[in-house]
Amino acid sequence: ARTVTRTPEGVVSVGGIEVTRLAEEFGTPAYFVDEADFRARCRAWREAFGSEADVFYAGKAFLSRAVVRWLHEEGLNLDVCSGGELATALAAGMPAENIAFHGNNKTPAEIERAVEAGVGRIVLDSFQEIARVAHIAERLGRRQRVQIRVTVGVEAHTHEFIATAHEDQKFGIALAGGQAAEAVRRALKLDGLELIGIHSHIGSQIFDMAGFEVSARRVVQLLAEVRDEHGVELPEIDLGGGLGIAYTSDDDPREPHEIAEALNEIVARECAAAGLRKPRISVEPGRAIVGPTAFTLYEVGTVKPLEGLRTYVSVDGGMSDNIRTALYDAEYTVALVSRSSDAEPMLVRVVGKHCESGDIVVRDAFLPADLAPGDLIAVPATGAYCRSMASNYNHALRPPVVAVDDGAARVIVRRETEEDLLRLDVG
């Protein structure tokens, strides 16, 4: 969040509101999102890519109706990957033509809903899906705009579970062995489909532009092959999301304008070399937009020093509101935000209240040695893939998301209640 400041007493405030007040009003744990920061990041991406390109925010990072409205107001499009995300987007008034529908196994019902709604594009992920979407579109008397997602064979240097463009994984259709060319051949033949381009997403939390270079180059090569074989120049390419953010001071993220310049240049160069018109580019940043804009606020419950090891600090949330540390060994920082302290730093591990020892929020950090129950601590950069991957493990109640802006705070996703849990339990 960009509007974070500290009062002389050491209380941190965001959007002009002190966290102690936020905790009183909204409780903990809770996610606080800096609306002005979110909008500023949307604008930075929009402006970096200009009118020649489209920016699709990846809703899987975090989606709610308020977020959809912010995106639409800031001129962004939206990438959804499930019927639930599609329903949220449509409910909040995102025009269907600004929506891209992704996923490696969209159900027939989801596809039908998307085609009926008139989504701008469906990104096809397999041969079966090419036939399935064509069939549904024909049955509905539509011609659905589609892209084909290809795997370009790039090893993105990120965690195995979030790398997606190497060959041995479930997404997309391989360029290798002529698979992608065959997919294009089939799609071009089907009346229900209007093939508008090729899509490639190489992974997530990436800092090195080299993978995008290779990806763009190989996608343009495919466009050239398609032109040679079919005499058609596909008008669009999508290079996916995946731009990394700073979770700790070791991370050095690229700015949107650097990314836009690099991608535009590579695509222009490769197209010139192949004698192709430059296609319209689109990108799908999720984390890079929402990740840095929010933090999680926790209250310290217990402080347990383990002689010679470290001190375990238990908070009132845990792996149910941030699974990323347990799942990807993700790194986070943490700060005492409800007061200042002159105490020496002590080595801590911030853990949750769940019934397993892997329930770690911040693996290694330093907090003041006088940390005590009742203190508020904040974990920054939790805007992406924390609330959206939150669970009810141990019947935890998923925390609210509160938008702060210019001295005002409002709940955009409310805290779950025990009634919410019991309502689903109909036995």
287 annotated to a ligand binding site: yes
Burial of 40 (0-12, 13-18, 19+ CB in 10 A): middle
* Catalytic residue from among 42, 271, 355, 386: 355
* Cα distance between residue 302 and residue 195, in whole Å: 57
Looking at beta carbons only, is 163 or 222 nearer to ligand LLP? 163
Out of 287, 349, 353, 354, which residue is the one contacting ligand LLP (CB under 6 A)?
287
330: Cβ–Cβ under 8 A, 6 or more apart, which residues?
A: 247, 324
- Touching ligand LLP, residues 153-192 (CB under 6 A): 162
Distances (CA, A) of 148 to 1, 100, 132: 36, 12, 13
65 annotated to a ligand binding site: no
Looking at beta carbons only, is 175 or 376 nearer to ligand LLP? 175
**Minimum CB separation from ligand LLP for residue 388, in Å?**
8
The separation between CA 16 and the C-alpha centre of its own chain, rounded to angstroms, equals: 26
345 annotated to a ligand binding site: no
For residue 191, give the amino acid letter: D
Out of 80, 288, 371, 378, which residue is the one contacting ligand LLP (CB under 6 A)?
288
**Minimum CB separation from ligand LLP for residue 402, in Å?**
21
* Cα distance between residue 330 and residue 251, in whole Å: 12
Rule CB under 6 A: is residue 130 a binding residue for ligand LLP? Answer: no
Could you check whether the bond before residue 235 is cis, i.e. omega within 30 degrees of 0?
A: no
Looking at beta carbons only, is 144 or 282 nearer to ligand LLP? 282
Rule CB under 6 A: is residue 240 a binding residue for ligand LLP? Answer: yes
355 noted as active-site residue: yes
Out of 34, 236, 284, 405, which residue is the one contacting ligand LLP (CB under 6 A)?
284
280 annotated to a ligand binding site: no
Listing DSSP states for 306-322 in one string gives ETTTEEEEEES--TTT-
The 289-328 contact track toward ligand LLP, x by CB under 6 A, reads -----------------------------------x---x
- For the record, the structure tokens of 264 come out as 């535009």
Out of 72, 113, 145, 201, which residue is the one contacting ligand LLP (CB under 6 A)?
201
- For the record, the structure tokens of 138 come out as 């024909």
Q: Provide the strand spans (E) within 137-286.
A: 144-151, 173-174, 193-199, 236-238, 280-283
In this structure, what are the phi and psi dihedrals at residue 314, rounded to the nearest 5 degrees?
-95, 130
- Touching ligand LLP, residues 26-85 (CB under 6 A): 58, 60-61, 79
Looking at beta carbons only, is 171 or 312 nearer to ligand LLP? 171
Rule CB under 6 A: is residue 106 a binding residue for ligand LLP? Answer: no
Q: What number of CA atoms fall less than 13 Å from residue 113's CA on the CB side?
A: 19
The separation between CA 113 and the C-alpha centre of its own chain, rounded to angstroms, equals: 23
Residue positions forming the annotated binding site for substrate: 287, 324, 328, 356, 385
Enumerate the active-site residues.
Answer: 355
Residues found near ligand LLP in the complex (CB under 6 A): 58, 60-61, 79, 102, 162, 201, 204-205, 240-243, 284-288, 324, 328, 384-385
